[in-house]
Structure formats: C-alpha cells, structure tokens
C-alpha cells in the first residue's frame, strides 16, 4: 500500500490520480477492513446548542442526512434539494441549480456552511449560487428552515439552508479510515469520483478528500440535446485538535473549481469558477452550570469567476467576457447560559463582502472588406462593499406541556461602492447616491404544545429583515433574473421585511407512521422586484435582452402555502413516504406595460397579480421494501407536478404544463464496507420542464429536464 501511494502521488493529473487510487483501493482496502475497527471516543462533542433541535421541531425544518444521497445520482446539491417539499430550483444548465424555498429565492434564502461560513457567488447571473460551491460528497447533513426562525447564523428573511460538511472526528485509538465513491450516469455520460481519508487519535484528527465530476450534454425526453456539460474538481483538508475534554479547535479548507460549465439558458457560459473557503472554529463546552458554552468562528471565502459568450452565435458580432471577484469574510462569538430547563444563547457576528467585476465587450464590424473592432470595458461591480454587524439572542424553555422558543436580532448594515457610473436624467435620480446604512430588527417566537398522546401543535411567528444584496444595489446591466432584461441595481433600495406565521400539526399513528402538516402566511414589505426603465434613460448592454429593469421595492406582497408529509415507521420492512406542497404568491398592484406592434405604448396596474417564479402544487410518493435484513432495498419514486397556470401577467410569465415522473432505485449494502446503488431516473423518458427552469437564450422554449438516465454508484469505506 505504501508503495502504491508513492507511485500514485507521482502522477500530476488529479483525475488520473483519483481513478487509479479508487481502483487500488478496491483491491487493497479489504486488507485493512478487517484489521481496523471504527472506534470513536465515548464522549461525543456536540456542536453548539441547537435551540431548534429536531426533537422540538417548533419551526418548519427539513433535515436531510447523508444517507439520502447514497441511492441517487446526485451530482448537484441544488438538484437534490428540489426533492424536499416546497423546495424548488432554478435550472439554467446541467448544474448549479439555485434553490427556491416557499417562493423565496436568491438572497432571500440564506445559505451557509457549518453554522456560519458564508460564500458570495461571483456570477451576477447566478451561475454559481452558494450551493454550487459545495459538493454533495462533502456533506453530512443539511437543514432547511422555512422561515425567519433561526437568527443566530446571520440575517434570515425567507429561509435558511444550513449545510453541514463532514468533519473530522477524534478516535479512542490511532486510526485511519477511507472512503471511495464512483458514480456514473448514462444520457450525458456523467461520472463522479470521490476519495476520502480520515484518521487521527483522541487529540489530533484529520480528514482529507478530493473528487472530480465530468458530465456531457444531456438529452431531454423529446430527443433534444441541450448543451449542459460541465467539469468540477474539488479538495478538502480539515484538522481538529482536542485541547482538553471540553475544548476543541478545528481548521477547514476547501477548494472547489468549475470549468467549462455550459448554461444554455444564460447568455454566457462559465469558463472558470475558482473557490477557496477557509474557516477556524473554537468550541468550549460544559464550562459551568450557568455559563455553559462558548463558540468562536472565523472564515474567509473567495470566488474568482470568469464567463464568456465565445460558444454562442452572438459572439460573431459581439464578444463579451465578464470577470468577477467576490470575497466574504466574517466571524461570530456565541455564548450560552443555562438555568434549569431554560437556555439562553447570545452572540455577535460580522460579515464583510467585497465584489469587483468588469465586462469586456468587443464588437466586430466588416465594412467594404475591412474589419473594424471596437472594445468597451464596463464595470459590473466596482469595488462594492457590504458590511453587516449583528447582535442576537435566543431563548428556549418549557412551560408545562409547552415548549417555547424566542429570538431577537439587531443588524447594522452598511454598503458602498466605488462606482463612477451615475444615472440622473430630467431630475430623476436612478443610480446616484451609492452609500446606504440600515438598522434592521428581526425576531421570532414559537411554541409546540402536546395536545394528546403523540399529537402536537406548533405555531410560530417571525419577522425576518434582509438588507439588499450587493447585486440588488450595484449590478450594472446584466440579465440576472428570469425575464430577459438587463438589470440595474438601486443603491437606495430598502430592506425587505418578511412577517411570517406558521401553523403545524404533527401526529404519530402507532404502527402506521407519522403525519405532518404545515401552513404558512408571509407578508413581505418592501419586496424587491424589477421595474422597467425606459430605453430613453438607459439601454441594455446584453445581446438578446428586451430592455433594462431596475430593482425596486414593492410596498407589500404576500405568499402563502402548505406542506404535508407522511412517513411510515422505519422499523417496518415496507416503507411509504408521501409529500405534497404548494406556494401561492400575490402582488396586490403590479405594473404591466402595454405592448402594441412590438412597442411599449402605455402601462396599467394589474391587481392581485401572481408573483413570478412561484412553483406549482406538487407531490411525491415513494415505496420501498427491505430485503435481506435491510441490505437490499428497492424503491419506486413517483413525482406528480401540477400545471402552473397561476403566472404573473405583469411580468409576461409563461404557463407551464404539469407532468409525472417515475424513478426506480435499488441499493445493496452486503456489509458496512461496501455498497452499490443503481437505478433509472425518468423511466418513461418524459419530456418535461419545471416551472422555474429558465428559457433557452434567444427563444421562448424552456430548458427541459434530462430524459431517461441510468446510473450506478459504488461506494467502499473502511
């Protein structure tokens, strides 16, 4: 084994390295499988106090564990998250699907790693949403909190997605463990490879991993080929140090890179996206009877993003290259106090974002046999800054049969930019004063009451306030939304405020399973939407767009909806899981522009217009049966999605037909060291697209989902 390792490290190609190591691992690892036993220390060091712990579940939370990845062809986290009720995604290509939770999207959904590490995507078109900077092979758990109900990780307005990456663990005896994964998907000849080593002893422990994904273009059920190929590679190194029984220190580093990622529904493709994430964590637990714990976290993440239109027909007349650098740095200090069954958690946090980017446009003209070239440089962002300092506190207690939690958060947000671009016309200031400061307040409170045996009622109320993002404040002429318009930021946008109420019922029927039903109502003040700017004020700079819109505040919109789920008891051999969810969004007074003969001739107000980009009602049913003492598990998954006819008239949104898809999966784990899963996605090869899928650039056709995909995943671990 030692010789083999020396030989392999001599090879420069990461991909070749992983492939060879995987093969060798399959050959040699069984030797170690029986020689070592996975023995972790008896004292499990928990992460910081989770006020919203799953057991309480006062707030609507979707916990997702790593095991859910294993029997599926998961190549993208955003794609995987779409399986959760009321979680959808915006597809623009084969990867980097942008999550939408209960109709909240983009910066309305806070996405973070390991309880606080944040990443600022570089691409204004969201080719690289936060979830695209983390590979699913690195993840151990995800929590989706639907609402402004967890305030200790930073400002949250619509929803929070907290991604827990796999962390190194301490061992009672010096140990080393490994994991090798290989996955293949037909249709687009996608393959993914992942290798992981972890080990250490009681006081020093580590984890290192690396992986590669390469996918081609996929064919939809109608036989149409979409240019969706991508390549991704990544590596992670983590080290943990146990200072003593109750103190530990952890350092994490992740590198993630995307190359030649194609987005047929965007005007450009991603040439390069390079991400570095570093974090330091210190935790002190069980410190005393009153002051219980202390956590300190610091992080820095950087993204270098390059995109171009070189592979598009538009490049024949005008080539465009956009380069953006985005940094996010921050940290937090959190302490917790206990008094009986009461817990108070208090802390401060800080987040700093820097964003700078430029677009280069080259126009080629051939006149009388001569070729003339004109080049223009334009700032997409010009050293834009976004700073947020927060003070927060959470309280948890039990009063009789009622579990109670409450939280408060105060944020000071400041933003500025070095832009020299100004847009003031006829006395109207469209883009002028660049500095803005806000003091934001958020709160929530929730209860869970046991009504009768195994029957719970939950209710929660919250206000989540979100300051406008750098993109919403400072973007200059990029088509960053669904509607084929270039967007202009507004530095003076006001923060969005989400007043949300949730009501839920949890009922466990002994021997039959558990039922959960949730309903919610969100009233959003100062909702941020695009508003058309006349071409006499500013003209678009992106080929194929219809005009320019500027982000602006809408006084009030509302969203409402529900989630329902049923799960059979896990101890049964058979299993059924069913979910249903829907969201409805309404803009009470939307502005619609009247178009005649291809020209805007006037405007009118549409009352109670549906909000754009709201997914339709959908449900899913999963059947499984556990053979051979749960070693062999076949599953059938059926997904039913209603047509979305409730579309925004003011925004010219298109209706989407409903569809049904079926999938089959078979997982086999003969022992704890080896598992294989295989299956078929979209068995019937249905041509379909989700409502949130973007249109193909230059057409009114939506980007279809992949047709039938056969896949296999092999995993070996010791």
- Window 326-355: contact mask with other proteins (x via CB under 8 A): ------------------------------
Characterize 522-547 residue by residue with b for buried, 16 or more Cβ atoms within 10 angstroms of its Cβ, and e for exposed. bbbbbbbbbbbbeeeebebbbbebbb
Near other proteins in 643-672, by CB under 8 A = 649
Residue closer to other proteins, measured from CB, 569 or 588: 588
The Cα–Cα gap between 57 and 264 comes to 40
Backbone angles phi, psi at 411, to 5 degrees: -125, 140
550 binds other proteins (CB under 8 A): no
598 binds other proteins (CB under 8 A): yes
Residues recorded for the chain: 718
**Nearest distance from C-beta of residue 35 to other proteins, angstroms:** 56
535 binds other proteins (CB under 8 A): yes
Element (DSSP H or E) covering residue 609: strand 599-610
**Nearest distance from C-beta of residue 598 to other proteins, angstroms:** 5
CB atoms within 10 A of CB 352: 17
Characterize 230-245 residue by residue with b for buried, 16 or more Cβ atoms within 10 angstroms of its Cβ, and e for exposed. bebbbbbbbbbbbeee
- The one-character DSSP state at 469 is P
Residue closer to other proteins, measured from CB, 75 or 359: 359
- The one-character DSSP state at 498 is E
Q: Which stretch binds other proteins (CB under 8 A): 218-226, 373-381, 465-473, 631-639?
A: 373-381
**Nearest distance from C-beta of residue 583 to other proteins, angstroms:** 11
**Nearest distance from C-beta of residue 316 to other proteins, angstroms:** 11
In DSSP terms, which residues pair with 557 in a beta bridge? 524
Residue closer to other proteins, measured from CB, 550 or 667: 550
Q: Which stretch binds other proteins (CB under 8 A): 191-199, 335-343, 597-605, 637-645?
A: 597-605
Q: Are 231 and 211 in contact (CB under 8 A)?
A: no
**Among 367, 428, 452, 671, interactor with other proteins by CB under 8 A:** 367
237 binds other proteins (CB under 8 A): no
**Among 235, 280, 606, 636, interactor with other proteins by CB under 8 A:** 606
**Among 302, 379, 560, 579, interactor with other proteins by CB under 8 A:** 560
Residues 6+ apart with CB under 8 A from 223: 707
452 binds other proteins (CB under 8 A): no
Backbone angles phi, psi at 7, to 5 degrees: -65, -45
**Among 398, 422, 539, 655, interactor with other proteins by CB under 8 A:** 539
**Among 46, 365, 628, 684, interactor with other proteins by CB under 8 A:** 365
CB atoms within 10 A of CB 656: 21
361 binds other proteins (CB under 8 A): yes
Backbone angles phi, psi at 3, to 5 degrees: -60, -45
- The one-character DSSP state at 629 is T
Closest by Cα among 263, 310, 225, 94 to 697: 263
Q: Is 397 left (phi over 0), alpha (psi -120 to 50) or beta?
A: beta
Residue closer to other proteins, measured from CB, 559 or 669: 559
* Number of amino acids touching other proteins (CB under 8 A): 54
Strand pairing category for 269-284 and 247-261? antiparallel
404 binds other proteins (CB under 8 A): no
363 binds other proteins (CB under 8 A): yes
Alpha-carbon torsion 265, 267, 272, 277, what sign? negative
Q: Which stretch binds other proteins (CB under 8 A): 70-78, 87-95, 230-238, 358-366?
A: 358-366
Near other proteins in 467-526, by CB under 8 A = 501, 503, 505, 517, 519-521
Element (DSSP H or E) covering residue 565: strand 548-567
543 binds other proteins (CB under 8 A): yes
Q: Are 219 and 706 in contact (CB under 8 A)?
A: yes
376 binds other proteins (CB under 8 A): yes
223 binds other proteins (CB under 8 A): no
225 binds other proteins (CB under 8 A): no
Q: Which stretch binds other proteins (CB under 8 A): 130-138, 278-286, 593-601, 614-622?
A: 593-601
Residue closer to other proteins, measured from CB, 44 or 452: 452
- Separation of CA 706 from chain center: 20
Residue closer to other proteins, measured from CB, 27 or 643: 643
**Nearest distance from C-beta of residue 534 to other proteins, angstroms:** 4
CB atoms within 10 A of CB 47: 14
Residue closer to other proteins, measured from CB, 86 or 236: 86
Q: Is 223 left (phi over 0), alpha (psi -120 to 50) or beta?
A: left
420 binds other proteins (CB under 8 A): no
The Cα–Cα gap between 184 and 181 comes to 10
372 binds other proteins (CB under 8 A): yes
**Nearest distance from C-beta of residue 178 to other proteins, angstroms:** 49
Which three-class secondary structure state does DSSP give residue 676? strand
The Cα–Cα gap between 63 and 105 comes to 19
Q: Which stretch binds other proteins (CB under 8 A): 93-101, 160-168, 587-595, 636-644?
A: 587-595
Q: Which stretch binds other proteins (CB under 8 A): 126-134, 239-247, 596-604, 688-696?
A: 596-604
**Nearest distance from C-beta of residue 249 to other proteins, angstroms:** 46
**Nearest distance from C-beta of residue 457 to other proteins, angstroms:** 7
Which three-class secondary structure state does DSSP give residue 313? helix
Q: Are 323 and 268 in contact (CB under 8 A)?
A: no
534 binds other proteins (CB under 8 A): yes
Q: Are 258 and 123 in contact (CB under 8 A)?
A: no
Class of residue 205 by CB neighbours under 10 A (exposed 0-12, middle 13-18, buried 19+): buried
Near other proteins in 278-317, by CB under 8 A = 317
- The one-character DSSP state at 653 is P
Q: Which stretch binds other proteins (CB under 8 A): 175-183, 238-246, 360-368, 689-697?
A: 360-368
428 binds other proteins (CB under 8 A): no
Q: Which stretch binds other proteins (CB under 8 A): 190-198, 490-498, 588-596, 708-716?
A: 588-596
**Among 337, 584, 623, 673, interactor with other proteins by CB under 8 A:** 584
402 binds other proteins (CB under 8 A): no
CA atoms within 13 A on the CB side of 400: 3
Q: Are 305 and 273 in contact (CB under 8 A)?
A: yes
The Cα–Cα gap between 468 and 486 comes to 18
Q: Which residues bind other proteins (CB under 8 A)?
A: 317-318, 361, 363, 365, 367-368, 372-374, 376, 457, 459, 501, 503, 505, 517, 519-521, 534-536, 539-545, 558, 560-562, 584, 586, 589, 592, 594, 596-609, 649
């Amino acid at each position: 084994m030692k010789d083999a390792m020396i030989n392999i490290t001599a090879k420069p190609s990461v991909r070749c390295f992983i492939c060879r190591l995987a093969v060798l691992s399959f050959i040699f690892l069984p030797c170690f499988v029986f020689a070592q036993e996975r023995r972790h220390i008896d004292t499990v060091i928990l992460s910081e106090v989770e006020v919203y712990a799953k057991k309480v579940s006062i707030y609507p939370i979707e916990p997702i564990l790593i095991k859910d990845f294993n029997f599926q062809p998961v190549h993208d986290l955003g794609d995987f998250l779409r399986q959760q009720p009321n979680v959808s995604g915006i597809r623009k290509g084969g990867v980097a699907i942008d999550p939408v939770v209960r109709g909240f999207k983009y910066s309305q959904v806070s996405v973070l790693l390991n309880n606080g590490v944040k990443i600022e995507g570089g691409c204004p078109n969201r080719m690289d949403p936060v979830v695209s900077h983390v590979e699913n092979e690195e993840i151990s758990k995800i929590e989706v909190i639907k609402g402004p109900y967890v305030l200790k990780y930073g400002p949250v307005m619509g929803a929070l997605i907290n991604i827990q990456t796999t962390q190194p663990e301490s061992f009672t005896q010096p140990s080393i463990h490994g994991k090798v994964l290989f996955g293949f998907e037909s249709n687009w000849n996608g393959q993914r490879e992942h290798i992981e080593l972890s080990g250490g002893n009681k006081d020093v422990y580590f984890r290192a991993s690396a992986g590669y994904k390469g996918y081609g273009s996929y064919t939809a059920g109608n036989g149409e080929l979409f240019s969706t190929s991508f390549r991704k590679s990544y590596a992670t190194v983590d080290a943990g140090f146990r200072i003593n029984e109750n103190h530990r220190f952890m350092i994490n580093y992740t590198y993630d890179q995307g190359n030649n990622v194609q987005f047929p529904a965007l005007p450009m493709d991603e040439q390069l996206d390079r991400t570095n994430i570093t974090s330091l964590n210190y935790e002190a637990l069980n410190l005393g009877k009153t002051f219980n714990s202390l956590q300190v976290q610091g992080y820095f993440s950087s993204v270098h993003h390059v995109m171009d239109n070189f592979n598009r027909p538009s490049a024949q007349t005008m080539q465009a290259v956009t380069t953006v650098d985005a940094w996010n740095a921050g940290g937090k200090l959190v302490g917790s106090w206990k008094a009986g069954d009461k817990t108070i958690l208090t802390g401060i946090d800080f987040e700093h974002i820097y964003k700078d980017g430029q677009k280069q446009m080259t126009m080629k003209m051939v006149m009388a046999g001569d070729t003339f070239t004109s080049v223009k440089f334009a700032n997409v962002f010009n050293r834009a800054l976004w700073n947020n300092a927060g003070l927060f506190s959470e309280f948890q207690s039990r009063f009789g049969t009622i579990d109670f939690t409450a939280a408060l958060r105060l944020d000071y947000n400041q933003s500025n930019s070095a832009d020299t671009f100004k847009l003031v016309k006829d006395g109207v200031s469209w883009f002028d004063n660049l500095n803005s400061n806000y003091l934001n307040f958020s709160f929530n409170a929730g209860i869970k009451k046991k009504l009768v045996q195994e029957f719970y009622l939950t209710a929660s109320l919250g206000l989540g306030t979100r300051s406008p993002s750098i993109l919403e404040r400072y973007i200059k002429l990029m088509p960053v939304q669904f509607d084929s318009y270039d967007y202009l930021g507004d530095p003076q946008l006001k923060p969005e405020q989400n007043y949300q109420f949730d009501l839920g019922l949890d009922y466990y029927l002994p021997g039959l399973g558990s039922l959960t039903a949730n309903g919610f109502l969100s009233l959003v003040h100062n909702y941020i939407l695009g508003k058309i700017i006349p071409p006499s004020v500013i003209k678009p700079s992106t080929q194929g767009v219809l005009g320019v819109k500027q982000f602006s505040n809408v006084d009030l919109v509302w969203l409402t909806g529900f989630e329902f789920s049923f799960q059979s008891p896990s101890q049964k051999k058979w299993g059924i899981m069913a979910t249903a969810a829907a969201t409805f969004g309404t803009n009470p007074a939307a502005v619609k522009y009247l178009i005649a003969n291809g020209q805007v001739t006037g405007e009118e107000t549409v009352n109670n217009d549906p909000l754009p980009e709201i997914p339709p009602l959908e449900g899913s049913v999963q059947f499984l049966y556990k053979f051979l003492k749960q070693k062999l598990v076949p599953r059938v998954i059926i997904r039913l999605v209603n047509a979305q006819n409730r579309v925004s008239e003011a925004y010219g949104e298109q209706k989407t037909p409903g569809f049904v898809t079926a999938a089959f999966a078979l997982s086999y784990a003969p022992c704890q060291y080896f598992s294989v899963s295989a299956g078929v996605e979209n068995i019937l090869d249905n041509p379909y697209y989700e409502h949130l899928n973007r249109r193909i650039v230059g057409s009114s056709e939506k980007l279809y989902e992949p047709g039938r995909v056969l896949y296999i995943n092999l995993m070996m671990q010791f």
